[in-house]
């Protein structure tokens, strides 16, 4: 049976690929992003584009209500909207830190709260939250981004226990380095926020390394992570965690088996 699926952050990268693959498989997919023009390509694959800023509670309510009214159910919510803003803690404004939490955590939570009454009524549903290996390991100049992803991990794991009695699955997608615009955006934020002052030299070196990594050919294609996300969305009993993509499993495994001081030393050298 075709599933009714809403995916945020569908205009590019993993979200775009997941929406495309899910629609091609015969599911009814609503792809959401802030700009409708960036969703037009998805209409070629049968995805219905939806304009949505996940931090706008009223708009989010309207989108969810409209889908449920039209389809009479909602089977899967994929919370994929998010971004990475890098910079030294001392130099990143609290306003920017709050914005990152608004998009990466509170927007995700708002979307989840809106779909849960319908999923409880159905006694079925799947919530998929895009986290990252950054929700399990840490790097310099990524404190606020890591904080949002560590929060998504804790939020999702706790919510899973609450929703299990209602037949609702909660899934975490935890990508490693993926060939999307994320790395370049993070590097640009880092260069802008910490280009001057005491962190300038180390910040520029880290930004250069990010650009080098995310322009390389050996990191994982977004289509592969999209395929993992699509598999989780359609599985009868999806896994709880999908740790996947370049560097994800070895990085997390290494962080668990060595003392933090050793992990810190390796990360500082690599970054």
Determine the structural domain holding residue 95 and report its residue range. 4-270
Determine whether 145 is an active site residue: yes
Q: Are 49 and 40 in contact (CB under 8 A)?
A: yes
Structure tokens at 217: 């050919």
3-class SS at 2?
coil
What integer pLDDT is reported at residue 15 of this predicted model?
97
**Active-site entry in 20, 30, 85, 145:** 145
Determine whether 149 is an active site residue: yes
What pTM value is reported for the model? 0.95
Ranking 29-38, 41-50, 190-199, 215-224 by mean pLDDT, the lowest is 190-199
Q: Are 150 and 139 in contact (CB under 8 A)?
A: no
Average pLDDT of the chain? 95
What integer pLDDT is reported at residue 50 of this predicted model?
97
**Torsion from C-alpha of 216, 221, 225, 227, nearest 10 degrees:** -170
Percent pLDDT > 90 in the chain is: 87
Average pLDDT for 49-78:
98
Determine whether 215 is an active site residue: no
Q: What is the pLDDT of residues 182-217, one digit of tens each?
A: 888 889 989 988 878 899 999 999 999 999 999 898
Q: Are 32 and 135 in contact (CB under 8 A)?
A: no
Percent pLDDT > 70 in the chain is: 100
**Active-site entry in 131, 156, 191, 193:** 131
Q: What is the pLDDT of residues 90-125, one digit of tens each?
A: 999 999 999 999 999 999 999 999 999 999 999 999
Structure tokens at 265: 């030393």
**Active-site entry in 11, 156, 194, 251:** 11
Quick one: pLDDT band at residue 271, thresholds 50, 70, 90? confident
Sign of the Cα torsion 153, 156, 159, 163 reads negative
List residues bridging with 50 in a β-sheet. Answer: 32
Residue 158's Cα: distance from chain center in Å?
18
What integer pLDDT is reported at residue 256 of this predicted model?
96
3-class SS at 13?
helix
User: What is the phi/psi pair of residue 173, to 5°?
Assistant: -100, 125
- Say which CATH number the domain at 71 has: 3.40.50.720
What integer pLDDT is reported at residue 1 of this predicted model?
81
Determine whether 158 is an active site residue: no
What integer pLDDT is reported at residue 27 of this predicted model?
98
Per the structure, the count of domains in the chain is: 1
**Active-site entry in 20, 30, 132, 149:** 149
């Amino acid at each position: 049976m075709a599933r009714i699926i809403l995916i945020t952050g569908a205009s590019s990268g993993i979200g775009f690929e997941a929406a495309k693959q899910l629609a091609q498989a015969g599911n009814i997919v609503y792809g959401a992003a802030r700009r409708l023009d960036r969703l037009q390509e998805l209409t070629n694959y049968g995805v219905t584009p939806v304009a949505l800023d996940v931090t706008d509670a009223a708009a989010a309510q309207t989108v969810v209500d409209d889908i449920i009214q039209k389809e009479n159910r909602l089977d899967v919510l994929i919370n994929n909207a998010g971004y990475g803003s890098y910079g030294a803690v001392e130099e990143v404004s609290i306003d920017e830190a709050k914005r990152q939490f608004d998009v990466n955590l509170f927007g995700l939570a708002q979307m989840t709260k809106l779909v849960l009454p319908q999923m409880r009524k159905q006694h079925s549903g799947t919530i998929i939250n895009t986290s990252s290996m950054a929700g399990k390991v840490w790097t310099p100049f990524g404190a606020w981004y890591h904080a949002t992803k560590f929060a998504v991990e804790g939020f999702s794991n706790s919510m899973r226990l609450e929703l299990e009695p209602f037949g609702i699955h909660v899934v975490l997608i935890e990508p490693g380095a993926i060939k999307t615009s994320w790395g370049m955006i993070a590097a640009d934020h880092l260069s802008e926020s910490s280009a001057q002052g005491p962190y300038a030299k180390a910040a520029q070196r880290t930004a250069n390394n990010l650009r080098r990594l995310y322009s390389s050919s050996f990191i994982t294609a977004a289509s592969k992570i999209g395929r993992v996300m699509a598999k989780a969305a359609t599985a009868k009993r999806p896994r709880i965690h999908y740790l996947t993509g370049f560097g994800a499993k070895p990085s997390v495994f290494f962080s668990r088996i060595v003392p933090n001081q050793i992990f810190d030393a390796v990360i500082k050298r690599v970054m």
